[in-house]
Amino acid sequence: MDALSWGQIIARMAMQFLPVWIALVVTFGISIRFKRKLGLYGKLYDSPVGMIGFGMVMFWVFTAFFASMIMTHDPLTQISGMKNVLPGSAQKGTEGAFYLLGGDNLARDVFSRMVAGSRLVIAIAPMATVFAFMVGITLGLPAGYYGGKLDVVLSFAANLILAFPVILLFYLLVTPEIVESGLPQYLGVVLFLFPLIFLTVLLNSRLYVKPQLRNMLVAAVLIVGGWLYLSLLSSPDTKIDLLPAGIDAITLSGNILIVFVSVVFVNAPTVFRIIRGLVLDIKTRDYVAASQTRGEGPWYIMLWEILPNARGPLIVDFCLRIGYTTILLGTLGFFGLGLSPESPDWGSTINAGRRLLSVYVHPAIVPALALMSLVLGLNLLADGLREESLKD
Amino acid sequence: MLWFVLRRLGVMILTAIVLTFVVFVMTNLPPNLEKLAKSEASVRMSDDAVVSWIDKNGYGGPIVGRYAQWLGVAPGWTRTDDDGTIAGRCVESGMSLDNAPRFCGILQGDWGYSTVFKKPVSTVLGNGLAATGWLMFWVMMVMVPTSLILGVLSGMREGSRTDRVLSTFAIASTATPEYVSGVILVALFASATVGISPTLAEWGWISGKTLFMGTATSAMDKITFWNFTLPVMTIALYGIGYIARMTRASMTEVMTAQYIRTARLKGVSFRNVVMKHALRNALIAPFTVIMLQFPWLLNGVVIVETLFNYKGFGWTLVQAAGNNDIELLLACSVVAVFVVLVTQLLSDIGYVFLNPRIRIS
């Protein structure tokens, strides 16, 4: 069977991505139809840059979602005779099966690995960013609002972490010896506590006037959150093995938890600094003074007066930060830290492909372009959001 | 001003002490020491032998004490065996206890011995830093002028077509981390099978197989345009976008200021307004950004030196971390932390110095 030409390769890839195209068309169609009722999200469709960025991001989100339909081969299966084959090569012995973007040096399909890799990135990067924001908000609000000694101590700690070059920090946190000592997991114990604290304080500060509703909601948050917290942290055969397997809802394979923790740890101090700066600015406004005079509690003012008014810059930074987290995940993979070597994530694939870069380009350049397009999409989306949020 | 600098210096020293202590603790965890013992003495050591090796070689005892010895503020450990041989942190072979120095830490300039390279850490680190120095120099030479020009050009007339094009380029370059742009650049310019090199070779314009070289190993001996362009461009690209965006923001702000309008209304030409009035004020903010880029460059340097196999500081750091070379990794961390802290200090002082509004208040 002959190899495919570039035109045929592109046509076949477009066919494979069919579910993604349908989902994109539906999303854009519905959103543009109702864009006046959708607030800031709807206004995004007034800015071409924002729309392009959103489209690129959603492309990868849908790719991750429909990954099992898009992949042509299993991302881990090695097929003999397909080592380093060029894009469009036909699979020997099987009619109509092609390695659309070629094979890597272990004879696996580059196209399927790229699609499978999007799953890891789309699952980890936004979640890690959410966690980093929770940590940053919970610590940054009081630091900016109260100031004084608390601010000095927290800012010093944040600057300490920021003074570490990121790669050195990764090497210190993710090497096997450190992982064996359980340090990243203990770090997770501390960091994952912040979303719980955040939600509890958020509900309590607003609903303390209605104790019954408050008690119910806070109890629900603590039970569900606590269960998720424990099942996220505890994994068998490590230092923290608390829950029996039966009720352990989330078991993360390999070192994903450790990668997750270190990415949150690196991002949190920057978020802290941004929040602190915003609070310092907003707390001088009249509406804050008004609620202080009304006798509102400090946490109510921080979470329900200051935080909603800081949302514009925070949403923009959130998009940028997901992109940055994606870059960090790629960096970890590039240095072979954390994730297992055969994992299809983009960083590890680039790392594996770069060894033969001057001869076979395709195994490294496909994930490189994928990563670049996702981060570029996020940056354009942030730019569009900033432009639109400045308009009112 | 003096008080400000002194206070900043104090905070910096405190930060440095805390950070080096953290790194010290994390590189001296029991599993690391066990691995060190097995690689230095014998792989098939019993657990008891490992413990006694660790004790004998000064890795036992409280961590604070060992940190103080490493820093050079506590006397180094010494030990006299039953057969009378003397060993110690500061005792080299052939020395007796009396003529060996009491203190030998990094404050005395004794950085230890690298177990990977079998050389003193100061030699390894010195070579690496010299190589990285050249890389950084060329990156700065490319990055700073390019990004400032791009930023000023696009900020000069906000919303113009030049602005749109340049801003998009800036966004694209900040969205491309070094390990992506490096791979793309190599594919375009340094691959014998794809990119522009095969075409050029066919036309007979280049004598070798590729236009640029895909590795920078030969740049260790002699830096040429052909072996150094790709690594330099890879690092510079990521920074260019960021600095250009900062410059653009600062330039657009300045261009809407009252004194610019006054100058324009007085009849000063656009060119003169930009060159004489706007530029000086617009370049204050990018200065701090450029200084704060140094820590980021450090990241880029590690990635690029690994990718292009250039044996500088970043490559040394990766080797030290990957091979459990405790003393070398500690020394690398000290240098990295020092670079970050000094640039922070310089950018703060420089900002105050450049900006008259802050200087006077």
| DSSP result, A54-99 | HHHHHHHHHHHHTHHHH-SS-TT---TT-TTPPTTEEPTTSTT-EE
- A390 close contact with B: CB closer than 8 A: no
> B194 to chain A: which residues are within 8 Å by CB?
361
User: Could A334 and B26 be called an inter-chain contact, meaning their C-beta atoms sit closer than 8 Å?
Assistant: no
Provide the percentage of residues in chain B whose pLDDT is more than 70: 92
Residue A57 clears pLDDT 80, i.e. is over it: yes
User: Could B175 and A360 be called an inter-chain contact, meaning their C-beta atoms sit closer than 8 Å?
Assistant: no
Per DSSP bridges, beta strands A98-99 and B78-80 are: unpaired
- Work out the average pLDDT over A330-334: 90
Q: What are the two backbone dihedrals, phi and then psi, of residue A240, each rounded to the nearest 5 degrees?
A: -105, 100
Q: Which residue type occupies B314? A: G
Per-residue confidence (pLDDT) for residue A247, from 0 to 100 = 67
A167, A178, A371 ranked by CB distance to B180: nearest: A371
The pLDDT tens digits for B338-358 are 888 888 888 777 777 776 665
Residue B202 clears pLDDT 80, i.e. is over it: no
Q: Which residue has the tokens 């890879």?
A: B234
The CA radius of gyration of chain B, in Å to the nearest whole number, is 26
Mean pLDDT value across chain A: 86
Minimal-distance CA residue of chain A relative to B33: A177
CA B23/CA B15 separation, integer angstroms: 12
CB B46 within 8 A of CB B335: no
| CB count in 10 Å sphere of residue A173 | 24
Per-residue confidence (pLDDT) for residue A251, from 0 to 100 = 67
B180, B214, B340 ranked by CB distance to A358: nearest: B214
Per-residue confidence (pLDDT) for residue A206, from 0 to 100 = 87
Higher local confidence (pLDDT), B191 or A380: A380
What three-state secondary structure class fits B264?
A: helix
Model-level ipTM above the cut of 0.90: no
Substitution target in A325, A372, A387 with the highest count of B β-carbons within 10 Å is A372
Distance from CA of B252 to the nearest CA of A (A): 15
Distance from CA of A47 to the nearest CA of B (A): 13
DSSP single-letter state for residue B74: S
**Spatial CA neighbour of B256 closest among B166, B159, B156:** B156
CB B179 within 8 A of CB B200: no
Q: Which residue type occupies A348? A: S
CA B337/CA A162 separation, integer angstroms: 10
Per-residue confidence (pLDDT) for residue B95, from 0 to 100 = 66
Provide the token pair at A146. Answer: 């109260």
Per-residue confidence (pLDDT) for residue B9, from 0 to 100 = 87
Question: Could you tell me how far CA A169 lies from the centroid of its own chain?
Answer: 19
CA A34/CA B13 separation, integer angstroms: 57
Instruction: Kindly provide the b/e burial profile for residues A360-370, where b requires at least 16 CB atoms within 10 angstroms of the residue's own CB.
Output: bbbbbbbbbbb
CA A128/CA B310 separation, integer angstroms: 33
- A103 close contact with B: CB closer than 8 A: no
CB A274 within 8 A of CB A321: no
Distance from CA of A364 to the nearest CA of B (A): 7
Residue B288 clears pLDDT 90, i.e. is over it: no
User: Could B317 and A168 be called an inter-chain contact, meaning their C-beta atoms sit closer than 8 Å?
Assistant: yes
Provide the token pair at B35. Answer: 């691995």
- Work out the average pLDDT over B3-12: 85
User: Could A368 and B179 be called an inter-chain contact, meaning their C-beta atoms sit closer than 8 Å?
Assistant: yes
Distances (CA, A) of A16 to A10, A19, A92, A115, B357: 10, 8, 21, 11, 60
Where residue A352 falls among pLDDT bands split at 50, 70, 90? confident
CA A25/CA A22 separation, integer angstroms: 5
- Find the range with the poorest average confidence among A2-11, A138-147, B246-255: A2-11
Distances (CA, A) of B43 to B36, B58, B210, B256, B324: 10, 20, 45, 70, 15
Residue A295 clears pLDDT 60, i.e. is over it: yes
> A166 to chain B: which residues are within 8 Å by CB?
299
Substitution target in A171, A174, A187, A387 with the highest count of B β-carbons within 10 Å is A171
DSSP single-letter state for residue B114: E
Substitution target in A361, A369, A374, A379 with the highest count of B β-carbons within 10 Å is A361
CA A268/CA B335 separation, integer angstroms: 24
What three-state secondary structure class fits B88?
A: strand
> A331 to chain B: which residues are within 8 Å by CB?
177, 179, 299, 303
The pLDDT tens digits for B174-185 are 889 999 999 998
Per-residue confidence (pLDDT) for residue A391, from 0 to 100 = 73
Where residue A379 falls among pLDDT bands split at 50, 70, 90? very high
What does the angle CA B61 – CA B64 – CA B67 come to, to the nearest 5 degrees?
100
The pLDDT tens digits for A191-233 are 999 999 999 999 998 888 888 998 999 999 999 988 888 888 8
Per-residue confidence (pLDDT) for residue B156, from 0 to 100 = 84
- Work out the average pLDDT over A155-164: 87
- A372 close contact with B: CB closer than 8 A: yes
User: Could A177 and B11 be called an inter-chain contact, meaning their C-beta atoms sit closer than 8 Å?
Assistant: no
What three-state secondary structure class fits B152?
A: helix
- A167 close contact with B: CB closer than 8 A: yes
A159, A165, A175 ranked by CB distance to B15: nearest: A159
User: Could B303 and A178 be called an inter-chain contact, meaning their C-beta atoms sit closer than 8 Å?
Assistant: no
Provide the percentage of residues in chain A whose pLDDT is more than 70: 94
Residue B359 clears pLDDT 60, i.e. is over it: no
The pLDDT tens digits for B39-94 are 777 777 777 888 887 777 777 778 888 888 888 777 777 777 767 667 777 776 66
Per-residue confidence (pLDDT) for residue A219, from 0 to 100 = 92
Distances (CA, A) of B301 to A310, B217, B312, B313, B315: 35, 14, 9, 8, 8
Per-residue confidence (pLDDT) for residue A341, from 0 to 100 = 75
Element (H, E) at B78: strand B78-80
User: Could A350 and B180 be called an inter-chain contact, meaning their C-beta atoms sit closer than 8 Å?
Assistant: yes
Residue A326 clears pLDDT 90, i.e. is over it: yes
DSSP single-letter state for residue A306: I
Torsion sign, CA atoms A44, A49, A52, A53: negative
User: Could A172 and B27 be called an inter-chain contact, meaning their C-beta atoms sit closer than 8 Å?
Assistant: yes
User: Could A175 and B318 be called an inter-chain contact, meaning their C-beta atoms sit closer than 8 Å?
Assistant: no
Higher local confidence (pLDDT), A39 or A115: A115
- A380 close contact with B: CB closer than 8 A: yes
- Work out the average pLDDT over A67-88: 81
- A252 close contact with B: CB closer than 8 A: no
Per-residue confidence (pLDDT) for residue A249, from 0 to 100 = 65
Where residue B116 falls among pLDDT bands split at 50, 70, 90? confident
User: Could B177 and A330 be called an inter-chain contact, meaning their C-beta atoms sit closer than 8 Å?
Assistant: yes
Q: Read out DSSP for B10-70?
A: HHHHHHHHHHHHHHHHHHTSHHHHHHHHHHHT-TT--HHHHHHHHHHTT--S-HHHHHHHH
